[in-house]
Structure 1
Amino acid sequence: MRSGKHVQAKAKKMRRKKIERSPTQAPGQYLGYSLQTTRLLARLLDALSEHTISLEVFEDVGAEREDGTRTAEQVKSAIFSNPVSDRAEGLWKTFANWIDAVTAGALELDKTYFEIYVSKVVPAGIAKQFSDAATLEEAVSAFQEAKAILGISKKGSEPLRGISDTLRPYLAKVFEADESVISRIIFRFKLVFGSGSPVSDLAPLLKRTFVPDDMVDDAIRYSLGWVKEKTDKLLEKGVPANILVEEFRKDMISFERAHDNRTILTSYAQEPSRSEIERDLKVRQYVRQLEIIEASYGQKIMAVKDYLLSSADRTLWSAKGLVHRTSFDKFESKLVRTWENLKQQTEIALKDKSAVERGKYLYSDCGNQEVKLEGLEVPPHFTPGSFHALADDLKVGWHPEYEKNL
């Protein structure tokens, strides 16, 4: 009979075996891909004069200014290995690819800066020397020093033994390249290290921009999701995954506004012109809705003004980033629910009244409602004007049989 200790030891061994990683799994590879999204977000948050940040367009992560100046950033995880050690295949493959891109004209050398981002600090002898080169002369010297370190005495000679077969072609590409090209790449090269937690590194960038301390965690989750969704949709369409810095900032300002401590939304809309009012009186469905409940001319004028002012404010609040785009849909859903409840109450309370009278009552009752947007009070015209927008789409109506009458 086997002892209890023996059984326990066997069970423990089986549990260990179950959780061993399959050789086909590649957590490091996945981490590298997810790291690109995090770095793209960091670039968006840190953008000063950059116009566009991209994913897998001309490099893992790219930054481009309106004058055409670019930063090509290669993103590398250091969780399982050192990607910038002197004999790291990824290091020399990156430089070889940059040489090819410059030679082919895909990257304009005098308008491109080259970076390697590593998720945490690791030893980086040659890469660090390249990054520290502050002049073209120092870049040339660093290149020659790299040759000595790797045992490459002259152009075309083989490196020291011990270099892997997969690494040799990249070393050959770099050290047999035109030295004026590789030296200028080195001169424009920068090595950047993360703290070891790329997501945590986003927090100080958010604090430095527009997000209060108590909102940072939520903002990180939201912005990472926003970037992932945006780039995924672009890539699914087969178009370059370029994100405008201005678009990102507006969306993040909207997010912050949706979670701040304001109490009132200010109207920025201009009073509509007489011609705008006359146009809506002639063609709009919401005006027809008022006509079938026999609204007065003055009521129709007021309705048109409310509609136009609320439409303008909706556009201006979105453009200024004062209201998050999804909040308008939630606001309209509240209005529809309010209308449904008031309509039911009207039909019960005024069942002996005519359809027109019931419609007048329902319209007046809806117009007196105070519904908040993102928890904020809205200008007096906004809720009635939003009801008219819904009436224009026939999502709500005043006459009990408004759809049939229209």
Structure 2
Amino acid sequence: MTTVDQNTTHSAEAAALGFWYQALYALLTLVEQTTDDAAIGIEKLDDIELQADGKQLLYQLKHSISTAPPPITIKSKSLWKTIKVWVDALPKLTLAETTLHLVTVGGIAKSDPLQILTSAGEDRVDLAKAMTLEAERVLFERSQAAEQGNKLPHSERISGCQAFLELTEIDRLNMLRRTRIRPESPTVPQIEQEVAANLHILPAHQRDTVACRLVEWWDRQMVYSLCGQREGIISRTELQSQVSTIVADIEQDKLVPELETVSHPTDYQPDGMLFRQIDLVKGTRGDLAKAIREEWRAREQRARWTVSNPALVSKINDYDLLLKEYWSDLHLEMVDNSADQAEEEKQASGLNLLRWTHNDAPTTIRPISEGWNAAYYIRGSYQVLAINLQVGWHPDYEELLEDSE
């Protein structure tokens, strides 16, 4: 990979993680609320907009994929980019009813004037003066560079600095009085743990499972919102309702289809036996694509169930026996009818059996659990069984694949 490719990949990863962090932090923020009228939106006036108790809270989020993110200072690009966003939003705000939050996974440099923003009650006069001097320095150095014909510095800070200086002194101070910095905030991998820790009302043994399912549900809501399939604001009432649904499912030992709308990773490589089984009956690219997708979903679902509840292993195994029985009746009939058939006819019969697992089996065989209505588990489980050579599509699959056992 070239240097350009590495930089592009790094940038794409950072952007993707940045948006995911934004979504997850919104979930954590809403979970932390205690007022019934709380509601949160993504990418409204700010990265996150929270309404609670008749007040408005705007959050600008600064995530980093670095293992040791640099501390924020009065000179940081992230600070001045945030200032620009907030100044632009001021005409739409009632500042006395608004709090502006800058959330960063890094810390604040020691002795930096920004330290004052970690506390709500500290005076901001000295900070306003320091930021004014810094903004003026940025503009002066750009002006000086322009006069000398040099490259203009501070390109990522200039907009914020200009916007800050265009405010009156009292407006600068008033904005800073409504500003908070949240340093050393949880990173993407830590947020799910923080969500679980805030589910105080639940028994301790349920919190991790509920948090995991809550994050998955939240991710779907974010996608639906981006696609225009739902309103972009989620209320605390809706969140509480989802928590109650998840808890009810756990207590009833109800199996939940968690992966019905989830695609397998783009780099997923299934076992080679899946390809060989389908190749024996000359399956198409479409047959193969469906098999890979559903096999991943079923395998991932099995893993999640057994991790969350090891007692489900026997339920899964018993259901596999049922799937094999249905398959066996059809396969034996196919074998009996293929005794005098040419290879092309055997392949055609086997392809029909493969497609039966996708098209007909989900509506023919009872679901693994009462209330289960997702087809991917049966479809994918047949592929899992085929990989293990417990079922097959060709009449002679065992003989043809015996070298692979």
TM-score normalised to the size of structure 1? 0.53
Percent sequence identity over aligned pairs: 14
Runs of 5+ consecutive residues of structure 1 not aligned to the other structure: 1-16, 264-371, 375-406
User: Matches of 1:247 and 1:74 in 2, distance apart?
Assistant: 24
- The aligned counterpart of 2:103 is 117
Partner residue in 2 for 1:99: 87
2:43 counterpart (56, 73, 78): 56
Instruction: Give the corresponding residue for 2:6.
Output: 22
> Are 1:175 and 2:165 counterparts?
yes
Among candidates 250, 256, 267, match of residue 241 of structure 2:
250
- Looking at structure 1, the residues matched to 135 and 53 of structure 2 have their Cα atoms a distance apart, in angstroms, of 43
1:101–1:131: structure 2 CA closer, same or farther, 3 Å change rule? same
Segments of 5+ residues of structure 2 without an aligned counterpart are: 145-151, 255-368, 372-405
Q: How has the CA–CA distance of structure 1 residues 119 and 163 changed in structure 2, closer, same or farther, with 3 Å as cutoff?
A: same
Residue pairs, 1:120-199, within 5 angstroms: 120-123=106-109, 125-132=112-119, 134=121, 138-148=123-133, 150=134, 152=136, 158=140, 164-194=154-184, 196-199=186-189
Counterpart amino acid of 2:223? D
Q: Distance in 1 between matches of 2:62 and 2:121?
A: 23
Q: CA deviation at 1:60?
A: 0.7
Alpha-carbon distance, 1:45 to partner = 0.9
Instruction: From the superposition, tell whether residues 181 and 19 of structure 1 become closer, same or farther in structure 2 (CA, over 3 Å).
Output: closer
TM-score, normalization by structure 2:
0.53
Matches within 5 A, 1:7-406: 22-25=6-9, 26=11, 27-49=13-35, 50-65=37-52, 67=54, 69-80=55-66, 81-82=69-70, 84-102=72-90, 104=91, 106-123=92-109, 125-132=112-119, 134=121, 138-148=123-133, 150=134, 152=136, 158=140, 164-194=154-184, 196-209=186-199, 210-237=201-228, 240-260=231-251
Deviation at 1:109, TM superposition (A): 1.0
TM-aligned CA deviation for residue 55 of structure 1: 0.7
- The amino acid of 2:87's aligned partner reads I
Residue correspondences, number: 247
After TM superposition, give the deviation of residue 157 of structure 1 in Å.
Answer: 6.3
Contact (CA 8 Å) 1:58, 1:72: kept in 2 or not? yes
Distance 1:257 1:152 in 2: 59
Q: Which amino acid aligns with 2:130?
A: E
The answer to whether the Cα contact below 8 Å between 2:192 and 2:215 also exists between their aligned partners in 1 is no
CA root-mean-square deviation: 3.7
Task: Write the deviation string for residues 343-364 of structure 1: whole angstroms up to 9, x where unpaired.
Answer: xxxxxxxxxxxxxxxxxxxxxx
Runs of 4+ in 1 over 4 A off after TM superposition: 17-21, 159-163
Q: Which has the larger radius of gyration?
A: 1
